[in-house]
Amino acid sequence: MKALTLTAPSEFEFGDAPAPQPAAGQVLVDVKACGICGSDLHGMDGRSGRRIPPIIMGHEAAGEISAVGEGVSDWKVGDRVTFDSTEYCGECPDCKAGFVNLCKNRRVLGVSCGDYRRHGCFAEQVVLPQHILFSIPDALSYEKAAFAEPVSIALHAVNLAPKPNQGAMATTTRQECAVVVGAGLIGLLVLQALKARGWSRVYAVDLDDSRLALAKKLGAEEVFNAKEENLAAKLKELGGGDGLDASFEVVGAAQPLDLAIRSVRKGGTVVLVGNLQPNTPFPLQEVVTRQITLRGSCSSAGEYPEAIERIQDGSIQVEPLLSIVAPLSEGAQWFHKGVQPGNGLLKVVLKP
């Protein structure tokens, strides 16, 4: 089969690779579309340590089953599917508790981190365990279905922030308001996920005015350039003076994290989605003295069916985020364009 292989830091080769064969409990999927993830862009030059060459990257994908292994009964040749980006065992305590994203045996498609090498979906075919597959409707294009993975990540993040009008501490007079700090692809999906879940007012912050304009079109109440002075104070006022109910940090750097923390009310929640930097300082006393909850959000855990449904019904729009669909053979050039400042790209989808 043909595949796009990272052969050295920032170097790719499009050519022949061994054709995979499904073992017992596995299926062979003909990949029809695969998106370039930000983690692929950050990993291809060796910075993250999670794309050690040689590796076939890619984990945001959809395709058609072309063969099934022994013991597979729930799937058949010709089924249209997308799939979790994480292979989880289903047997460890975390899996049995529903935290498949925290499985101690997890392997992420398209990742090579020293502990394991798991080739991914920038290839004509990929073998997958049957239990991570999800059916996609005939009317849903493969290009849109490839967004199921990032949409599931956004939904998972929103699941981690309690709505203030629910539970024992509910206050029925309060509008539920949040800010998304970082209007890249995941940030724009988090914004839409919040609106789809019924949050009354959602604000967006970014350095890129074109992305802020898109955030406004996708439902943001107001948008703010991160360079604005006294921005945390402005956001607090929008939350009634004390602050917003929740913030979502979707960058993973010191200044966005600081803003996310300072924008929420006493007792508010900050969900950490971005992980660009391994370590960042943060305002400890703000967190402690205002009893703010910090929650890390890792991948997804059961949100795929909702992600597929919301993409299909349009309650989360992915088409405005699709920058280009290109042949897999041109993948190297799109990877290099993706790391150029000001490239204007949100999501590039490659087709074998």
Mean pLDDT of the chain: 95
Which pLDDT score is estimated for 278? 84
| pLDDT above 90 for 22 | yes
How far apart CA 193 and CA 321 sit, in angstroms, is 14
Averaged pLDDT, 133-141: 98
Identify residue 277 by its one-letter amino acid code: Q
CATH class of 161-296: alpha beta
Class of domain 2-151+300-351: alpha beta
- The confidence band for 99, taking pLDDT boundaries of 50, 70 and 90, is very high
> What does the pLDDT read at residue 172?
47
pLDDT, position 128: 98
d(CA 137, CA 80): 7
pLDDT score of 164: 76
pLDDT band at 131 (very low <50, low <70, confident <90, very high): very high
Non-local CB neighbours of 316 within 8 Å, separated by 6+ positions: 151, 154, 189, 192, 193, 196, 307, 310
Provide the sign of the torsion angle of the four alpha carbons 37, 38, 39, 40, taken in this order: positive
The pLDDT, as a whole number, for residue 119 is: 98
- With a CB cutoff of 8 Å and minimum separation 6, the contacts of 29 are 63, 64, 65, 66, 81, 83, 125, 126, 127, 128
Least confident of 14-23, 68-77, 170-179, 231-240: 170-179
Question: Residues 70-91: what's their mean pLDDT?
Answer: 97
Q: Which of 278-287, 299-308, 314-323 shows the lowest per-residue confidence on average (mean pLDDT)?
A: 278-287
Residue 49 has pLDDT above 70, yes or no: yes
Residue pLDDT, tens place only, 266-290: 999 999 999 888 899 999 999 999 9
Mean pLDDT across the stretch 228-244? 96
pLDDT for residue 166: 60
pLDDT attached to residue 174: 63
* Spans of all domains in the chain: 2-151+300-351, 161-296
Percent of the chain predicted with pLDDT > 70? 97
| Percentage with pLDDT > 90 across the chain | 93
